[in-house]
Structure 1
Amino acid sequence: MVLWCILTAIYMNAQFNTEYNKIVNQAELAIINKDFGEALKNYNEIKKQNYIYSREINNALMCANKLEDWKQVNFWAELFLKKGATIKFFDQERFKDYRKTSFYNNLQNTVIENKINKDLIKSLDSLKAEDQGLFVKLKTDPNVPVYNLTEEIDKKLFLLEKKYGKISEENIGINIQDATTYYFASVYAVLYRHSYQSHKDNSFFNEKLKNNELDRLTYYSSIDYGLMPIVNHHGNLYFLKDNMLKPEYKEDLSVFMKVAKVAYKNDEFAGFSFYFPIMQIASFGDEQSKKSFDDILDKLYTK
């Protein structure tokens, strides 16, 4: 029963830019088929949208680099730098041929300004530390109504947006570690996750969701799934059967699962950024839990 609770929870309804996500899904399926030209064609369609997330910029950049389409590399590179990346991102071995070109020299000599707000980042860093301090209390007393305290964090997030404008990749930057390793999840993703977990109708998470201001991967990586789409047990991946996928999320989850089957821990796709909705199951407390787990895999999952 405990295991079932771990694997199951509830969904929240979400509305996203369906045209944008459809294009991204098609691009990622092309990538895992190593049709980088088709993928880049899809990413170029995103230019018609009013906003492009850094994950798509990163993946388009990787496609263009593999195709040695240096003009396209420069186009996507400039967008990436505007979101806070630095020229050191291109120190990676995969860009060694690009660095030999005049296009790279042009990029180095181009002044690219960003709108990163250091005061906002400082405030978010402080808020994140405060949030983590609240959740430390759960370790000492699991009965602490910590999610009620999340409301105070949410209030401060609303105030920050009122002061600095909508929190976005443009004003807080993107998550790049050691200047070269990109992660699609914001360094402040935990604030969204905890806001969701408060399950308050007027939470920061829910208000962003209602106003269609939440990108789908922040949403999917924050929610508790009805059933985990993918389970990793002893290095083996198990995929939720198609008929168990909730209709409103089926299209996205099906693509995430197809991508995971090919790209998860596959060095051929190093540098690309994919979302893998995977739960790691390492061991069990007793034989009954293991039996329950095996029954769930047998009935609801497939390899």
Structure 2
Amino acid sequence: MNIDASLLLQAAQAAAGGQQYPAATLYLVATPIGNLADLSLRAIQALSLADALACEDTRQGGSLLRHLGLHKPLIALHQHNEREASAAVIARLAAGERVAYASDAGTPAISDPGAVLVQEVVSAGYRVLPLPGPSSAVTALSVAGDTAATGFAFAGFMPTKAGERRMALQAVLAAERQSQVVFEAPHRIVDLIALLAELAPMRRVTVCRELTKQFESIHTAEAAALPAWLAADAQRQRGEFVLVLHAAAPQAAAEDDLPAEALRVLALLVAALPLKQAVALAAQISGAPRNRLYDAGLKLKNGGDE
């Protein structure tokens, strides 16, 4: 055990050693999504006490244990064997052991294996204790600043087939009052952004890339502006992505509620500029809601026949 691991274990014991860690219990351990320093002291203490570690990938699990100077039996438990591997975990619980479970990164059972394991363990009559910690979905939500949202929902990865993806994204966008968290892989991010720009050009989106890692980036803009932003730098298309689709701005009861001065400014700008640019400037000048200005601008562009 090297000195760094020893210090980590001592700190974990000092901070969390006085808590209860019952035997015959499954511990769900949230692990870092990119920065090892985000591993909690309570998680370290639970891992040090565990008799075995079930993990989505034994290479990842083994690396985490080595970082802590720990050596534990490893149980591979992933999406292809979760039900079968749960039996091995339950057998250890039946023997009075503590078993920890960690997915590759983040909180287990959120777009990662773990839900089946929890269901099987509870059905067998054993306790499951969650150890909260890193979550890319919650991390992205915290930085999105979506003040219009009444709550949030986790949509995870969209389907890979084009038709199914369109339908799924339309369903997500239909929940206009909530923030929606979407995951995406680097080889599909361009297609997803293009579809968002088509389906909801005025919806604000926070694009989080490589959260907590060295090249982390966070960018918020209307969906219509994102394809050009993504194409401007090839680096922006690399890494793991978490997108927060902001709630739609509340709709006004009637356009006539817009202040007369805002409508006057909008009319002048629409006559001289493209609609999107005119709306953006009118919103900055007047302080009126952008979505209502956009609707009014459409009518002005169409001669009031909307």
Alignment TM class, shorter chain as reference: under 0.3
TM-score using structure 2 length: 0.26
TM-score using structure 1 length: 0.26
Higher helix share: 1
Q: Larger relative contact order (C-alpha < 8 A, sep ≥ 6)?
A: 1
Higher strand share: 2
